């Protein structure tokens, strides 16, 4: 994913850059002559701003325009327009939202640091700290060398989101910038169009939705759709235009009927029909496998009334006019969406049996639905009268800072944040009836971490609707969730496999990184020693080599490098190759991983290591099994049996993350193992089996039962704790002698 601006040369748009005084200009590419520049004017923007800015503020905006115009002098967009036309267009979009003077100035100046090497200090001196901070938050980190393009893109996005967390105007300006870029994307080559459109759909569309900016959300969706799938877009657009004539009569009939019905009820209301977005129709066709002719609710209707009680009165009037479809009513007024959206949604059976969707809201709800956070100023954090929307959004922005503090790198930060940018939410209640909004698919652990990191870390069990439930249970709308904690409880690495929110994932990973650090360091040190030995390099590195390695890997100490290897964040073979290059060797002749994993010395496993070494739950290896280890990011070394089917599938995808392992000689603990028995369905059989397991010196931790009515038998599943394979063989032999037991076997993944 590339997070660079589509308008600058860094994202592929060919522009001619102006030089600052005393600096030669870059030459335009000879293969693609730049068209003659047009004319850009600030007149229209000034007219908009004069409606709500003071003369002093307007003067400052014009100063910012003149400075930006001077800096971008001679630089043109690929369309041939002067580059300054782009900042002006971005500022006009911000003016439509009535953003303040500092935000408009930042919009005009948003590319001068990135494109023209203007220093932040110069902006600070000319335009003040607020404008300088906004522009800096919008600028990219071109002066820092990153290990990869992906890392650079993730770091740019991280910086933008963290700037947004302290001042939401940063993302508003960025969205305006992206909107204008998407509107003018037609001059780009198809490959760049798809890349930029994909990035927009993946990152900026969810952010616009999360902030309640529905107008931009819908327009960015449709623009991205038109560039990602141009043929589908044109075909669907043509079909909708053809259908408009056929459906115009239906729409008019519904509008007239609804207006008359509301007037009869004495409700002052605005009623108008709207066509659903092309992408919304396309998504419905894809998800429900429908043709266009089968998508009946292409049109929706909006009813805007004066008060909240009248929303419900209007709902009753509409239900009296047309029959409602069962299960198609949603009350987002009583329980608003996570981005502050409020409306009543109902789907009715209209004329000719056509489903018709209605949204009923007040004027205030309508303003919030269209403008979202842009309609309420969050950056005035000292205001004690923040609306509920402000508080919700402020809490989300604050969570970005929490995730940043617990996250190891930019790519991981981006991963966590993107998890939270899903439009669908589930709404659950605390025992005191407070509503908590979580992403669809969230679990009780996500709920616990959303309340407080300390509660999440110490969670031991949960009750959902007053009944005990598993921590991995998927929450549903209306669930009452009660978390039970224990001060001695700690997060488990397995939690990462089912938590849903970025805050929960980052908190768990942060804990796993800090706990049992010594164990991770020891494991990482052993893995790096093995990797260096394969390259005939001694593990004891010279101080100068260590200093260079730390400087180039952004680590503070070798223990940090070892710990990163031990938890799977760094690959030992790649670190070893890096050391070869520092010693002057040729890394191109060095394999990234030995061709035969068995050439490495096996890692010794004792089974009681803790967080840095785990036994895979899919196959539950026990001493005596042939085992292999998988280095998993932020989970350390996961040990599988060599014949584990899941491990064999994973080895094909990431062969360089697998290393040989062997059991140690002193194993003073019990190991979990699953066994399966096929027994006759007769009285007392379970008691006899359980007694035999106890007499064989094994402990039962779980028992499950499946009936097989066809064969009049029962299948028993046990998880037991044993010493090793010899102990298991002895137990299975004893169980086979129990009357009524037909078959006993160890259960595999």
Please, which pLDDT band fits residue 190 given cuts at 50, 70 and 90? confident
Return the percentage of the chain with pLDDT > 70, whole number: 74
Query: With contact defined as beta carbons under 8 Å apart, do 53 and 61 qualify?
Result: yes
Report the alpha-carbon distance of residue 434 to residue 261 in Å, rounded.
37
Give, in degrees to the nearest 5, the angle at Cα 289 between 283 and 293: 85
pLDDT of residue 419: 47
- Supply 660's token pair: 């040989």
CA neighbor of 594 nearest in space, from 637, 536, 650: 536
Query: With contact defined as beta carbons under 8 Å apart, do 498 and 447 qualify?
Result: no
Per-residue pLDDT of 506-565, as tens digits, reads 788 777 767 666 677 877 888 888 778 777 787 788 888 888 888 877 777 888 888 777
Report the alpha-carbon distance of residue 11 to residue 158 in Å, rounded.
18
Q: 162-171, 184-193, 450-459, 545-554 — which is least confidently predicted? A: 162-171
Report the alpha-carbon distance of residue 673 to residue 722 in Å, rounded.
7
E strands in 261-373? 270-275, 299-305, 323-331, 344-349, 355-362
Query: What are the φ/ψ torsions at residue 612 (nearest 5 degrees)?
Result: -70, -25
Could you tell me how many helices (H) and strands (E) the chain has, helices first?
A: 28, 19
pLDDT of residue 142: 40
Query: With contact defined as beta carbons under 8 Å apart, do 442 and 500 qualify?
Result: yes
Report the alpha-carbon distance of residue 339 to residue 392 in Å, rounded.
7
Per-residue pLDDT of 670-700, as tens digits, reads 888 999 999 887 888 888 898 999 899 888 8
Mean pLDDT of all residues in 476-495: 82
Q: Is 661 helix (H, G, I), strand (E, B) or coil?
A: strand
Query: With contact defined as beta carbons under 8 Å apart, do 153 and 3 qualify?
Result: yes
Catalytic residue among 81, 115, 133, 564: 115
pLDDT of residue 728: 93
Q: Is 531 helix (H, G, I), strand (E, B) or coil?
A: helix
Active site (annotated) includes residue 370 = no
Q: Give whichever of 264-273, 279-288, 303-312 has the largest mean pLDDT.
A: 303-312
Residue whose entry in the numeric block shows the structure tokens 């305006």: 176
At residue 228, does pLDDT exceed 70? Answer: yes
* CB-side neighbour CA atoms (13 Å) of 175: 32
Report the alpha-carbon distance of residue 529 to residue 600 in Å, rounded.
10
Report the alpha-carbon distance of residue 453 to residue 657 in Å, rounded.
31
Active site (annotated) includes residue 446 = no
At residue 14, does pLDDT exceed 50? Answer: no
DSSP string, 129-144: HHHHHHHHHHS--TTS
At residue 471, does pLDDT exceed 60? Answer: yes
Per-residue pLDDT of 51-104, as tens digits, reads 888 899 999 999 999 998 888 888 888 877 888 889 999 999 888 888 888 889
Beta bridge partners of 641: 627
Report the alpha-carbon distance of residue 220 to residue 216 in Å, rounded.
6
Q: 535-539, 646-650, 651-655, 714-718 — which is least confidently predicted? A: 535-539
Give, in degrees to the nearest 5, the angle at Cα 700 between 696 and 701: 155
Task: Give me the count of residues in the chain.
Answer: 749
pLDDT of residue 381: 38
E strands in 563-667? 603-605, 613-615, 627-632, 636-641, 658-663
E strands in 254-322? 270-275, 299-305
- Tell me, letter by letter, the H, E, C secondary structure of 500-516: CCHHHHHHHHHHHHHCC
Q: Give whichever of 120-134, 158-172, 241-255, 365-379 has the largest mean pLDDT.
A: 120-134
Please, which pLDDT band fits residue 448 given cuts at 50, 70 and 90? very high
What sections of 350-491 are H helices per DSSP? 363-371, 388-406, 410-419, 444-451, 453-457
At residue 37, does pLDDT exceed 50? Answer: no
CA neighbor of 216 nearest in space, from 254, 171, 248, 260: 171
- Supply 125's token pair: 């001196």
pLDDT of residue 328: 81
Query: With contact defined as beta carbons under 8 Å apart, do 672 and 701 qualify?
Result: yes
- The dihedral region occupied by 433, where left means phi > 0, alpha psi between -120 and 50, and beta the remainder, is left
Q: Residue 711: CB partners within 8 Å, gap ≥ 6? A: none
Catalytic residue among 114, 199, 457, 479: 114
Q: Give whichever of 145-159, 347-361, 596-610 has the largest mean pLDDT.
A: 347-361
Query: With contact defined as beta carbons under 8 Å apart, do 436 and 452 qualify?
Result: no
At residue 652, does pLDDT exceed 90? Answer: no
Per-residue pLDDT of 395-434, as tens digits, reads 555 555 555 555 545 455 555 454 444 445 677 888 887 7
pLDDT of residue 120: 83
Report the alpha-carbon distance of residue 25 to residue 19 in Å, rounded.
5
At residue 306, does pLDDT exceed 70? Answer: yes
Helix axes 120-127, 129-138, angle to 10 degrees: 150
More confident residue, 492 or 162: 492
pLDDT of residue 377: 39
* CB-side neighbour CA atoms (13 Å) of 543: 0
**Average pLDDT value for the chain:** 76
Report the alpha-carbon distance of residue 681 to residue 683 in Å, rounded.
7
pLDDT of residue 191: 85
Predicted TM-score (pTM) of this structure: 0.49
Return the percentage of the chain with pLDDT > 90, whole number: 9
Residue whose entry in the numeric block shows the structure tokens 């394969």: 534
- Supply 12's token pair: 């592929």
At residue 297, does pLDDT exceed 80? Answer: no
Which DSSP state fits 16? B
What sections of 184-229 are H helices per DSSP? 190-199, 205-210, 214-228
* CB-side neighbour CA atoms (13 Å) of 29: 8
CA neighbor of 400 nearest in space, from 726, 161, 80, 660: 161
Query: With contact defined as beta carbons under 8 Å apart, do 128 and 102 qualify?
Result: yes
* CB-side neighbour CA atoms (13 Å) of 154: 19
- Supply 178's token pair: 């992206």
Please, which pLDDT band fits residue 447 given cuts at 50, 70 and 90? very high
Mean pLDDT of all residues in 640-668: 83
Report the alpha-carbon distance of residue 15 to residue 30 in Å, rounded.
12
Query: How does 64-82 read in b/e, with b if 16+ C-beta sit within 10 Å?
Result: bbebbbebbbebbbbeebb
- Supply 276's token pair: 């659903």
- Supply 490's token pair: 């700690």
Radius of gyration of the chain (CA): 31
Query: With contact defined as beta carbons under 8 Å apart, do 169 and 139 qualify?
Result: no
Strands 699-708 and 671-680: unpaired
pLDDT of residue 731: 93
């Amino acid at each position: 994913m590339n997070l660079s601006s589509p308008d600058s040369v860094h994202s592929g748009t060919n522009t001619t850059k102006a030089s600052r005084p005393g600096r030669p200009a870059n030459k335009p590419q000879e293969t693609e002559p730049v068209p003659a520049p047009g004319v850009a004017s600030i007149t229209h923007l000034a007219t908009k701003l004069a409606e709500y800015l003071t003369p002093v503020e307007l003067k400052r905006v014009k100063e910012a325009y003149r400075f930006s115009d001077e800096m971008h002098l001679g630089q043109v967009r690929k369309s041939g327009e002067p580059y300054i036309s782009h900042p002006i267009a971005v500022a006009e979009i911000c003016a439509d939202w009535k953003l303040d003077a500092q935000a408009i100035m930042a919009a005009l100046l948003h590319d001068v640091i990135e494109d023209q090497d203007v220093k932040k200090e110069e902006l600070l001196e000319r335009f003040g700290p607020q404008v300088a901070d906004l522009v800096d938050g919008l600028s990219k980190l071109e002066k820092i060398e990153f290990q990869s393009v992906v890392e650079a893109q993730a770091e740019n996005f991280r910086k933008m989101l963290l700037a947004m967390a302290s001042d939401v105007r940063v993302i508003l300006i960025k969205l305006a910038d992206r909107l204008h870029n998407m509107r003018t994307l037609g001059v780009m080559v198809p490959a760049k169009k798809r890349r930029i459109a994909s990035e927009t759909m993946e990152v900026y569309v969810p952010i616009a939705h999360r902030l309640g900016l529905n107008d931009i959300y819908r327009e960015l969706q449709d623009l991205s759709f038109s560039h990602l799938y141009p043929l589908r877009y044109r075909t669907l657009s043509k079909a909708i235009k053809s259908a408009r004539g056929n459906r115009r009569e239906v729409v008019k009939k519904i509008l007239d009927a609804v207006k008359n019905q509301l007037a009869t009820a004495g409700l002052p209301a605005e009623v108008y029909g709207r066509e659903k977005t092309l992408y919304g129709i396309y998504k419905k066709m894809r998800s429900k496998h429908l043709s266009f002719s089968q998508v009946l609710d292409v049109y929706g209707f909006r009813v805007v009334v004066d008060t909240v009680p009248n929303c419900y009165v209007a709902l009753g009037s509409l239900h009296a006019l047309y029959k409602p479809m069962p299960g198609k009513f949603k009350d987002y007024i009583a329980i608003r969406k996570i981005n502050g959206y409020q409306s009543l949604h109902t789907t009715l059976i209209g004329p000719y049996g056509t489903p018709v969707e209605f949204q009923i809201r007040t004027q205030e709800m309508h303003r919030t639905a269209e403008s979202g956070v842009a309609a309420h100023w969050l950056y005035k954090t000292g205001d004690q009268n923040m609306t509920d929307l402000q508080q919700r959004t402020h809490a989300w922005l604050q969570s970005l800072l929490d995730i940043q503090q617990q996250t190891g790198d930019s790519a991981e930060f981006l991963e966590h944040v993107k998890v939270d940018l899903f439009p669908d939410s589930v709404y659950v209640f605390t025992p005191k009836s407070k509503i908590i909004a979580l992403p669809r698919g969230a679990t009780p652990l996500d709920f616990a971490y959303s309340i407080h990191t300390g509660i999440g870390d110490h969670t031991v069990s949960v009750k959902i609707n007053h009944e005990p439930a598993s921590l991995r249970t998927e929450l549903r709308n209306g669930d009452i969730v009660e978390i039970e904690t224990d001060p001695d409880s700690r997060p488990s690495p397995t939690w990462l496999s089912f938590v849903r929110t970025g805050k929960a994932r980052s908190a768990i990973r942060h804990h796993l990184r800090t706990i049992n650090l010594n164990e991770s360091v020891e494991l990482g040190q052993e893995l790096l020693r093995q990797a260096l030995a394969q390259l005939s390099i001694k593990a004891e590195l010279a101080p100068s080599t260590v200093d260079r390695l730390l400087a180039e890997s952004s680590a503070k100490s070798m223990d940090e490098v070892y710990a990163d290897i031990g938890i799977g964040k760094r690959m030992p073979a790649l670190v070893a190759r890096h050391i070869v290059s520092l010693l002057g060797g040729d890394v191109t002749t060095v394999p990234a991983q030995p061709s035969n994993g068995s050439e490495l010395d096996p890692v010794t496993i004792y089974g009681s290591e803790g967080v840095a070494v785990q036994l895979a739950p899919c196959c539950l290896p026990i001493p005596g099994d042939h085992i292999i280890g998988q280095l998993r990011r932020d989970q350390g070394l996961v040990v599988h049996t060599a014949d584990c089917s899941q491990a064999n599938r994973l080895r094909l995808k990431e062969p360089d993350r697998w290393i040989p392992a062997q059991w140690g000689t002193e194993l003073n603990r019990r190991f979990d193992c699953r066994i399966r028995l096929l027994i006759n369905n007769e009285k007392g059989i379970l008691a006899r089996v359980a007694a035999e397991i106890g007499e064989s010196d094994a402990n039962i931790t779980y028992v499950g039962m499946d009936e097989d009515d066809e064969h009049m038998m029962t299948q028993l599943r046990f998880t037991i704790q044993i010493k090793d394979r010899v102990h298991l063989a002895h137990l299975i032999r004893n169980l086979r002698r129990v009357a009524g037991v037909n078959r006993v076997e160890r259960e595999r993944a």
